[in-house]
A and B are shown apart, each in its own frame.
Chain A
Amino acid sequence: MAAKLRETPLIDELLKGPWPSFVKEIKKCAQNEKNERGSARSNDLLGVLERSYKETIGHWKHGGIVGVMGYGGGVIGRYNDLPEEFPNVAHFHTIRVNQPSGWFYTSDILRKLCDIWDKHGSGITNMHGSTGDIVFLGCATDDLEPTFADLTALGFDLGGSGSAVRTPSCCCGMARCEWACYDTMALTDDLTRTFQDELHRPAFPYKFKFKMSGCPNDCVASIARADMSIIGTWRDDIQIDQKAVADYASKLNLENDVISRCPTKCMSWDGKKLSIDNSNCVKCMHCINAMPKALAPGKDRGATILLGSKAPIIGGALLSSVIVPFLKIEPPYEDIKELAEAIWDLWAEHGKNRERVGEFIQRIGMGNFLEQIGLEPRPEMVINPRSNPYIFYDQDQE
């Protein structure tokens, strides 16, 4: 029988309101009679949380030597500093499980994943963590290997953590979205399999994230969150169905809602025909999103590769910068892999501890960085004219 729920008047405040509540879910786990050990853990978790709200301090330490044999990541050690009072969460580690590309599951697999977690852990999950992994919250040290064994038997692997490649993630791409300019799911799967060593055996100064978005809508926020952002684009003309544009014109105010909102003012509408000066289109996707039945990305599709973003909780957010304006994204993806390896080679050797690749570029200068990894400076790398002092032209190029 599940133990009596701990009294938690402060965190109960978070139950009031028309939104989902993690307190409600933890309480449900704490009352799960089918998982006695998990319910004891969840109950103690409620107790620690209540105590932290009361004292306004956290009671968790993280890190240390914890994991599964042969892996340097995938498990984040968490220890409670009040083990006598809350023995069931004395260690309450987080397991990151590598999610399938695009987060597609069958209901059968989801049930099996939950069964594994009910059997070995607290039953509490986070679907999904900010990097994209399936997150199992609350594993005791002794339960790590059995959980891992059951996960691998089901065909799952751990995700990344620590100073390593983090679990690559992508938008649903061609599986569901007509705007996808390349197969994000295939690339994500390929990079994950190719870079198993870099994922599981930390050898970098800090984390390195790949995020794949199929078009500039960037549904996985790759430009803001990935060390290497691979964002789909096209280099020919936007496809226009003039008849469908005319249909939109009868429903929308084309001038106000579409034309005037083009950031480069490269569109015009004469009442009958939509014209686009494609040489000035910056692929912002606005017009395509506004008239999805009339416009579509061009047919010559690939991706732009950007480098260096990070989205820390406290401060110092960076957006990625363009390093390859256009690349065809086709298996076996050798160009991307070689580029990533050249970057890692340089950054691993010269980066400081906990220095993300974007910070490293800022420190050594983009010009030096590009030279070291063997890329030529390109005009597309300049964010604003005269604001990027890192690209110099030879006298004879002027």
Chain B
Amino acid sequence: MGDEVTVSTVAEAMYEMVKQYHGKKNLKAMDLTKAMIEKFGGDNCDKQLCKQAIRELIDSGRCTYSYVGGSYIVLPPT
């Protein structure tokens, strides 16, 4: 059996993705969710887990929401 995918694992992977796309493409919550389900597989990662991971990213201040004609998850301004 593979390692369990935790909220923190998904949050970390989401954070890396937001960093990678920073300044190139704005990502919505659903973009991150779809990418994580694809990365970890539907059996290990679902929408609920992704929701919790986004909550962790936002509440820790590592990411923030922005509004540019839609709501996106971005890095906080430096």
Contacts and interface: CB of A to CB of B under 8 A. Distances in A.
Chain B associates with chain A: yes
Interface of A: 62-65, 67, 69-73, 76-77, 161-164, 197, 201-203, 205-206, 345, 348-349, 353-354
Contact of A163 (B47, B58, B70): B70
Interface of B: 28-30, 33-34, 47, 51, 54-55, 58-59, 61, 64-71, 74, 76-77
A202 B71 CA distance: 6
A69 to B, nearest CB: 7
Given A65-B66, A67-B64, A72 B58 contact: yes
**Mostly helix, strand, loop or mixed at chain A's interface?**
loop
A50 B65 CA distance: 33
B71 A163 contact: yes
**Mostly helix, strand, loop or mixed at chain B's interface?**
mixed
B65 A353 contact: no
19 contacts: A62-B67, A63-B68, A65-B74, A67-B64, A69-B59, A69-B61, A73-B71, A162-B71, A163-B71, A164-B71, A201-B29, A201-B51, A201-B54, A201-B55, A202-B29, A202-B71, A203-B29, A345-B47, A348-B30
Contacts of A197: 51, 55
B70 A162 contact: yes
B69 to A, nearest CB: 7
A203 B47 CA distance: 11
A201 B66 CA distance: 11
Contacts, number: 68
Contacts of B74: 65
Among B29, B33, B67, B69, residue most surrounded by chain A Cβ atoms (within 10 Å): B67
Contacts of A163: 28, 70-71
Contacts of B71: 72-73, 162-164, 202-203
Contacts of B69: 63, 353-354
Contacts of B29: 201-203
Given A201-B54, A349-B30, A67 B65 contact: yes
Given A70-B59, A161-B67, A162-B67, A65 B30 contact: no
A73 B33 CA distance: 20
Contact of B66 (A64, A69, A205, A206): A64
A182 B59 CA distance: 37
Contacts of A62: 67
Contact of A63 (B47, B66, B77): B66
A76 B55 CA distance: 21
B59 A64 contact: no
